[in-house]
Chain A
Amino acid sequence: MTWKRKLGAAAAGAALAPLIVVALPAAVASAHGYISSPPSRQAMCAQGRVPNCGDIIYEPQSVEGPKGLRSCNGGEGRFEQLNDESKPWPATSVGKSVSFNWIITARHATTTWEYYIGGTRLAVFNDHGRQPGATVQHTVDMGSFTGRQKLLAIWNIADTANAFYACVDLQIGGGGPTTPPTTPPTTPPTTPPTTPPTTTTPPTGGTWAAGTAYQPGAEVTYNGATYKCLQAHTAIPGWEPSSTPALWQKL
C-alpha cells in the first residue's frame, strides 16, 4: 500500500526530474531528529506500537515546520495522524524528572530546545548556535504536573526558519496504568556463528516469512527456491533470501 503510494510519488516526481536535480542539494539540507525515549508519537509509529500512522513510519525524524507552532505534526499535513488524539497513544510511566533522548540524523546548528506541557514551558536549553551530536539528552523537571500529560518538545534550528516537533505522552508520577510495552521479538542468545552448528536440527521446509527468527542451518523456500540460513536473524522486509546472500545460501 505504502509502496504503491511511493510509486505514485515517484511517477509524479519523474515529470519534475530536471527540476529535482537542480533542487536536490537544498532538499537534502534539512536537519532531522526526534525523541526516541521516552518514545515520542513518531517513535511509537515507527516501532509499530501505534498502527495506521501513514508516512511517518518512514521518516519519524522529519516532523519539521516553522518555528513557533504548538502542534505535534509541526503543521505538516502528511503527518496529521500525530495530532489525532483518538489514536491509542501509549503513555510512558515516568517520575518527576525525565530524561529525553533525541536521535539526530542531520546535525544542524541549534538555537534552543524547548519542552512544553500545555502553555507551560517546563524547560529551555540554549545551545547558542552549536551543532548537536548524533544523540542529545536533556533532563527535564515535570514541575507540578502529574497523571497523563502530552508533552511537546521543540528543536529550534539556528540557520533556518524551521523547528522540529515531537509529542511525548507521559504518565507522570507512577499512578495509573499505561499500555504495557510490547516486547520486541526475542531471539535466543547466540554467539556470532563462525562455524555452522552441527547439533541443532533446524526446522525444515516452510516458506520464508518476515518476523520469523531464523537460526543458522534453517531451511526455507522463497519464490520456488530453497535457501539455508547462514546467519542468525529475524526476517524483515528487504532481507528476502533471494537478495541477501550474506544471510541465505541458495541450495
Chain B
Amino acid sequence: MRFRLFLGLAAALLVLTGCSGGAAAPPPVRAPSSAPEFNAADVMFLQMMIPHHEQGVEIVRLARDHQVRPAVAELAAAIEATQRSEAEDMKGWLRDWGQPATADASAHAGHGGMPMTSPDLIGALKSAPGAEFERRFLDILAGHQHQAVEMSQTETSTGKNPAARDLAHRIVESRTAEIKQLLGYTTT
C-alpha cells in the first residue's frame, strides 16, 4: 500500500515537473510538447508490464523475511530496485501519452487472461516452510520473469515507441540473465 502510494506520488511529481522518466536518469523520451509516437501495442505492453512489475516486487520482497542464501537475497534486492524504477518510468510514459494506467480486464480474456502469477500462489509461497521456501521462491520468480520476457518480445516486434521498445529490449536481456542466475541457484 505504502509502495503504491509512493509510486503514485512519484508519478504525480513527474507529471508536475514535466519530466517523463525517472528523476535520476531520464530515459530518451521526447518532451511532452512534441507528440509522442506510440501505438496500441506500446500501450498494452505498459499496461500489462506495470502490474507485472509490481507483482514481481511483491515476490522478491518475500526474500527479506525468509531464509535464503545471501546471494539470492542480494539478487532479489537488486531486482526490487530495478523493477521499481522501471515501473515509475512506465507510469510516466502512459501519463505523458494521456493513456489509462490500466487496461480493461476483459482486454486479456481472449488470450487466457493476463499472464500474472496468481495471488493465491504468492500467498502459499509466503507460508512455505523454511527449507522449502527458497526452492519455490526461485522457481516462482523464474517463471514470473519468463512471462516478462514473453511480453517484452511481443513489444520489440510490434511496439513503436522508441523508449518502450528500448525498455523491452533491456527486459529481455536482464530477465534472461536473472533467470540464468536463478536456475543456477536452483540446482546447487
Min CB distance A58 to B, Å, is 6
Residue of A nearest to B167 (CB): A243
Give the complex CA separation of A104 and B115 in angstroms: 11
Min CB distance B100 to A, Å, is 19
| A231 with B78: CB separation less than 8 A | yes
Q: By the criterion of a CB under 8 Å from any partner CB, how many residues of chain B are at the interface?
A: 64
Contacts of A105 in B (CB 8 A): 115, 143-144, 146-147, 150
Q: By the criterion of a CB under 8 Å from any partner CB, how many residues of chain A are at the interface?
A: 72
- The reply on A69 being an interface residue by CB < 8 A is no
Contacts of A230 in B (CB 8 A): 81
CB contact under 8 A between A17 and B158, given known A186-B71, A243-B25, A244-B82: yes
The B interface is mostly helix, strand or loop, or mixed, namely: helix
Q: Can you list 23 A-B pairs, Cβ within 8 angstroms, ordered by A? A: A21-B40, A25-B110, A25-B111, A29-B110, A36-B187, A43-B186, A47-B181, A58-B149, A58-B172, A105-B144, A133-B121, A133-B124, A134-B143, A182-B184, A183-B188, A184-B71, A187-B70, A187-B71, A233-B75, A238-B169, A238-B175, A239-B177, A240-B170
Summed over the interface, the residue pairs from A and B with CB atoms below 8 Å come to a total of 201
- The reply on B43 being an interface residue by CB < 8 A is no
Of B22, B64, B118, B187, most buried by chain A (CB within 10 Å of CB) is B187
Which B residues contact A (CB, under 8 angstroms)?
Answer: 22-25, 27, 40-41, 64, 70-71, 73-75, 77-78, 81-82, 84-85, 110-112, 115, 117-118, 121, 124, 135-136, 138-140, 142-144, 146-147, 149-150, 153-154, 156-158, 166, 169-181, 183-188
- The reply on A181 being an interface residue by CB < 8 A is yes
Which A residues contact B (CB, under 8 angstroms)?
Answer: 6, 9-10, 13-14, 17, 20-21, 24-29, 31-33, 36-39, 43, 46-48, 57-61, 92, 101-108, 133-135, 181-190, 192, 210, 230-234, 236-240, 242-247, 249-250
